[in-house]
């Protein structure tokens, strides 16, 4: 049973650049949520995608955008990177058929902005 | 706004000691409650969850948690910890599906160190 996978595992960018992170949900899941986890903090919700649409959004600027593909995989894009965007970015998947409440997390992508 | 408080940021225990980690949430409606664990170098894993029914829920690896609605609490317990329980523990909350509130709101985490 394939779990949630994310790529890349690590990424180094400079301020002002753009980055794309990728996520494949757990087999059978149709919903993908993205979280940002800063050092020493709990994960913060960025947004959730279902049926290729953004369904919910947290308190993040428009520089953060996403996409969900027909195979349920998802991308997180961050434009005009700031130093403060350095964090672990987590993808979580869930199943609407199963109620959608339980989310399973991937290993994350650690982004460092210099 | 919904929020979760974990009052113990760092806990150090000896093996075989009992563990209780506090979690309080702020949300006016019906909630789903979760404890996730992050072992060193590993990803967040679901430890246990509460949706409804018996307020005492059992999870993996001998952990359990008790939902006390009147106290807005969902404390995590384990009678006897092992060195392998060294990890960071996160409490999280969301709401039932029909409320449209599926995002998880996390606490800041409790870092547990178990000494052999």
* DSSP one-letter string for B21-43: E--EEE-SS--EEEEEEE-TTS-
Nearest to B113, CA basis, from B92, B86, B84: B86
Give the C-alpha separation, B105 to B1, whole Å: 10
Q: Count interface pairs A-B at CB distance under 8 A.
A: 60
User: Are A102 and B34 within 8 A, CB to CB?
Assistant: yes
Helices vs strands, H then E, count in chain A: 0, 11
Q: Which pLDDT band holds residue A99 (cuts at 50, 70, 90)?
A: confident
pLDDT at position B1: 72
Domains and CATH numbers, chain B: 3-96+107-115 (2.60.40.10)
CA distances from B54 to B4, B51, B67, B75, B99 (A): 22, 9, 9, 14, 22
In tens, the pLDDT along A34-84 reads: 999 999 899 999 999 999 999 989 999 999 999 999 999 999 999 999 999
Q: Is B98 helix (H, G, I), strand (E, B) or coil?
A: helix
Using a CB-CB cut-off of 8 Å, the residues of chain A touching B97 are: 96, 99-101
CB-CB: which of A55, A96, A108 is closest to B43?
Answer: A108
Using a CB-CB cut-off of 8 Å, the residues of chain A touching B109 are: 40-42
Q: What are phi and psi of B8, to 5 degrees?
A: -95, 110
Assigned fold of A5-113: Immunoglobulin-like (2.60.40)
Domain spans, chain A: 5-113
b/e for B19-35, b at 16 or more Cβ within 10 A?
bebebbbebeeebbbbb
Neighbours of B13 (CB within 10 A): 17
Q: Which pLDDT band holds residue A1 (cuts at 50, 70, 90)?
A: low
User: Are A42 and B107 within 8 A, CB to CB?
Assistant: yes
CB-CB: which of B90, B100, B104 is closest to A103?
Answer: B104
Average pLDDT of the segment spanning A83-94: 97
Given a cut of 70, the residues of chain B with pLDDT beneath it are 96-101
DSSP state at residue B85: G
């Amino acid at each position: 049973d394939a779990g949630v996978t994310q790529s890349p595992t690590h990424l180094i960018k400079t301020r002002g650049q753009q980055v794309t992170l990728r996520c494949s949900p757990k087999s059978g899941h149709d919903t993908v949520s993205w979280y940002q986890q800063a050092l020493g903090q709990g994960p913060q919700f960025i947004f959730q995608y279902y049926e290729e649409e953004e369904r919910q959004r947290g308190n993040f600027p428009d520089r953060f955008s996403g996409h969900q593909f027909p195979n349920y995989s998802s991308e997180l894009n961050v434009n005009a990177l700031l130093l403060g965007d350095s964090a672990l970015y987590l993808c979580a998947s869930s199943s609407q058929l199963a109620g959608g409440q339980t989310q399973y997390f991937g290993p994350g992508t650690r982004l460092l902005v210099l | 706004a919904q929020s979760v408080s974990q009052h113990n940021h760092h806990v150090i225990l000896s093996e075989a000691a009992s563990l209780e980690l506090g979690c309080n949430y702020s949300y006016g409606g019906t909630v789903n409650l979760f404890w996730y664990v992050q072992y060193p170098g590993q990803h967040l894993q679901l430890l246990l969850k509460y949706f409804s029914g018996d307020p005492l829920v059992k999870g993996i690896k001998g952990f359990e948690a008790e939902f006390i609605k009147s106290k807005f609490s969902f404390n995590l317990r384990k009678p006897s910890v092992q060195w392998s329980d060294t990890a960071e523990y996160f409490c999280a909350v969301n709401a039932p599906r029909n409320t449209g509130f599926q995002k998880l709101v996390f606490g800041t985490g409790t870092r547990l160190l178990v000494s052999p």
